[in-house]
Chain A
Amino acid sequence: DTEVTQTPKHLVMGMTNKKSLKCEQHMGHRAMYWYKQKAKKPPELMFVYSYEKLSINESVPSRFSPECPNSSLLNLHLHALQPEDSALYLCASSQEPSGGYEQYFGPGTRLTVT
């Protein structure tokens, strides 16, 4: 299995809702990432998990809360989001956390905050 999967594909939520995005990989990769991509922009790094521990938080607001329950799963918990948080949320994984390893991207979750 050489894929990163993400659920749901689409999500619409109100500003008072709580929801979660899920990412899964079964390639034995030890690093997992969350990126945010706005329309016509490049992906922007949000979080890095290295061996199931949070190693990078790129100054992301606390309304985004990542979680890595095990080496195959990565969640992003969402609470009290703003309309400007509407974007494509991409999960990625790589064999090792340090630079030089290909990052495999999932198909993304398209989030709309109303």
Chain B
Amino acid sequence: GENVEQHPSTLSVQEGDSAVIKCTYSDSASNYFPWYKQELGKRPQLIIDIRSNVGEKKDQRIAVTLNKTAKHFSLHITETQPEDSAVYFCAAPISGGGADGLTFGKGTHLIIQP
């Protein structure tokens, strides 16, 4: 099955700076890579996702890039704000096809310093 590694485990940035979180995956058949944000005591919420036929996707201050050859994808947050503080999880389908749940990276605790 798929294995997803995520780095760093904690990231502290000054408000207004950019943050980058990186993930690698093991199954070259994986075709969908979502990013979830989870605030303390709340449910995971999808913030952006990318499919394997696209190299980059942007949504306002958030972007995701995918390198299929190297099997890694990254989350980029620009002009960080205090409300960006949360735990971020990358994920990939748990198996190559059929009915798929997600396997998640270990998470990155993003801290925005005022």
Contact = CB atoms under 8 A, between A and B. Distances in A.
A24 to B, nearest CB: 14
B81 interface: no
Contacts of B100: 48, 97-99
Given A99-B31, A99-B93, A105-B45, A45 B101 contact: yes
A5 B31 CA distance: 28
A95 to B, nearest CB: 12
Residue of A40, A43, A106, A108 with most chain B CB atoms under a 10 A cut-off: A43
A99 B32 contact: yes
9 contacts: A31-B99, A33-B101, A43-B89, A43-B104, A45-B102, A56-B94, A56-B101, A90-B44, A107-B43
Interface of A: 31, 33, 35, 40-45, 48, 50, 55-56, 58, 90, 97-100, 102-108
